[in-house]
Structure 1
Amino acid sequence: MDAQLIAFTGVAAGMVAMPGADFTVVVRNALASRSTGVACALGVVGGLVVHTALAVAGLAALLLAVPVLYRTLQFAGGAYVLYLGVRALRSALRASPGQEVPADTAAATGSTTALRQGFLTNVLNPKAPVLFLSLLPQFVPHGAAVLPRTMLLAGVVVALALVWFPAVALLVDQLGRWLRRPRAARTVEGVSGGVLTALGATLVAAPVLR
Structure 2
Amino acid sequence: MFSMEFLTTSLIVVLVPGTGVIYTVSNGLFSGWKASVAAAIGCTAGILPHLSASILGLSAILHTSAILYQGIKYAGAVYLLYLAWNMWRETGSLTLDASGLKTGWWPIVKRGFLINILNPKLSIFFLAFLPLFVPPGTASPTVQMIFLSIMFMAMTLIIFVLYGIFANGVRKYVAHSPRLIGRLQRTFAATFAVLGVKLAMTDQ
Partner of 1:17: 15
The one-letter code of the counterpart of 1:146 is: P
Where do 5+ consecutive residues of structure 1 fail to align?
none
For the pair 1:85 / 2:84, whether they are aligned, the reply is yes
Where do 5+ consecutive residues of structure 2 fail to align?
none
The one-letter code of the counterpart of 1:137 is: P
Task: Tell me, yes or no, if the aligned pair for 2:77 and 2:196 is still in contact at 8 Å.
Answer: yes
Partner of 1:195: 191
The one-letter code of the counterpart of 2:132 is: Q
The worse-fitting range, judged by mean Cα deviation, of 27-36 and 161-170 is 27-36
Task: Tell me, yes or no, if the aligned pair for 1:34 and 1:169 is still in contact at 8 Å.
Answer: yes
1:33-85 per-position Cα deviation (integer Å, ceiling 9, x unaligned)? 32222111100010112211211111111111211111111001111011111
For the pair 1:59 / 2:62, whether they are aligned, the reply is no
- RMSD between superposed Cα atoms in Å: 1.9
The one-letter code of the counterpart of 2:75 is: A
TM-score by length of 2: 0.89
Distance in 2 of aligned mates of 1:147 and 1:20: 28
For the pair 1:171 / 2:166, whether they are aligned, the reply is yes
Identity %: 26
Alignment of 1:103-182 (within 5 A): 109-144=103-138, 145-180=140-175, 181-182=177-178
Distance in 2 of aligned mates of 1:182 and 1:196: 21
- Equivalent of residue 94 in structure 2, options 101, 106, 119: 101
* 1:108 to partner: Cα distance: 5.9
Distance in 2 of aligned mates of 1:108 and 1:193: 21
User: Helix, strand or coil: the match of 2:90?
Assistant: helix
User: Helix, strand or coil: the match of 1:60?
Assistant: helix
Aligned residues: 197
